[in-house]
Amino acid sequence: MKGYLDFFMLLSPPERVKAIVREHKHYAADVIGSYDSEYSIAHISVNKMQRQKTFLTEPGIREFRQRLCLIPPVTLTIGGFDYFVHGKDYRTIYARIVSSPETSHWFKMLKQHLKIKEFNVPHITICRNIPLADFDKIWPYFKQLEWKETFTVNALTVLQRESFVSFAKWEPYTELPFEGKVQYSMAPPKPSLLKPLNSHQTSLF
């Protein structure tokens, strides 16, 4: 029996987006060699929680399912590439998710329902944490590359792996569908939606 599990929550783009990301990763590997995230499948990270007790998993998932079913599917647009700076020596190249009032409100709702305090800029990683010398070789290519792609995400994907097993792989755990009305995401934020969730409610993580 698995005593402790790590969980990874993400938004999964359609296969056509995953295929294009694979092509970009292959190009980068041809230029700079093998790198971290070279073989990772395209996704938008939402939250990662480690060393969770399994007996809390099921009630937590049921609670999240009840919350997330109120959120509508979200339509996102990829608009070119950008990068994160990690100190002086490392960079991460990613496909940029275009921000709008609607998408900003949607991600704020998702964060509230999942009780996430910190939330990264939504993005799809291409090359994670590569040395500056390698970045300088491939960034001119991505900088001038135009890529605009619109897609809809209908569910939150949850992966799992065993916490204390070396090189444990992420495996599918469940998907939590977004089933709210689309108009819900288009409405301006209401104070009731932005209040912190009650502290006594059970958390999966």
Domains of the chain: 4-180 (3.90.1140.10)
pLDDT the model gives residue 106? 95
Question: Does position 103 have pLDDT exceeding 60, yes or no?
Answer: yes
Q: What is the pLDDT of residues 137-192, one digit of tens each?
A: 999 999 999 999 999 999 999 998 888 887 888 899 889 999 887 644 444 444 33
Question: Does position 131 have pLDDT exceeding 50, yes or no?
Answer: yes
Amino acid (1-letter code) at residue 197 = L
pLDDT the model gives residue 71? 92
Token pair listed for 73? 């599917």
Query: Is 137 in contact with 33 (CB distance < 8 Å)?
Result: no
pLDDT the model gives residue 195? 32
CA-closest candidate to residue 111, choices 1, 189, 12, 5? 189
pLDDT the model gives residue 205? 31
Burial state string for 134-154 with b = 16 or more CB within 10 A and e = fewer than 16: bbeebbeebeeeeeeeeeebe
Amino acid (1-letter code) at residue 191 = P
Q: What is the pLDDT of residues 21-72, one digit of tens each?
A: 999 999 999 999 999 899 999 999 998 877 777 667 767 777 778 888 889 9
Tell the residue number behind the tokens 């897609």, with chain if given.
151
Question: Does position 204 have pLDDT exceeding 50, yes or no?
Answer: no
Averaged pLDDT score across all residues of the chain:
84
Cα angle, residue 70 at apex, residues 183 and 171 outer, rounded to 5°: 120
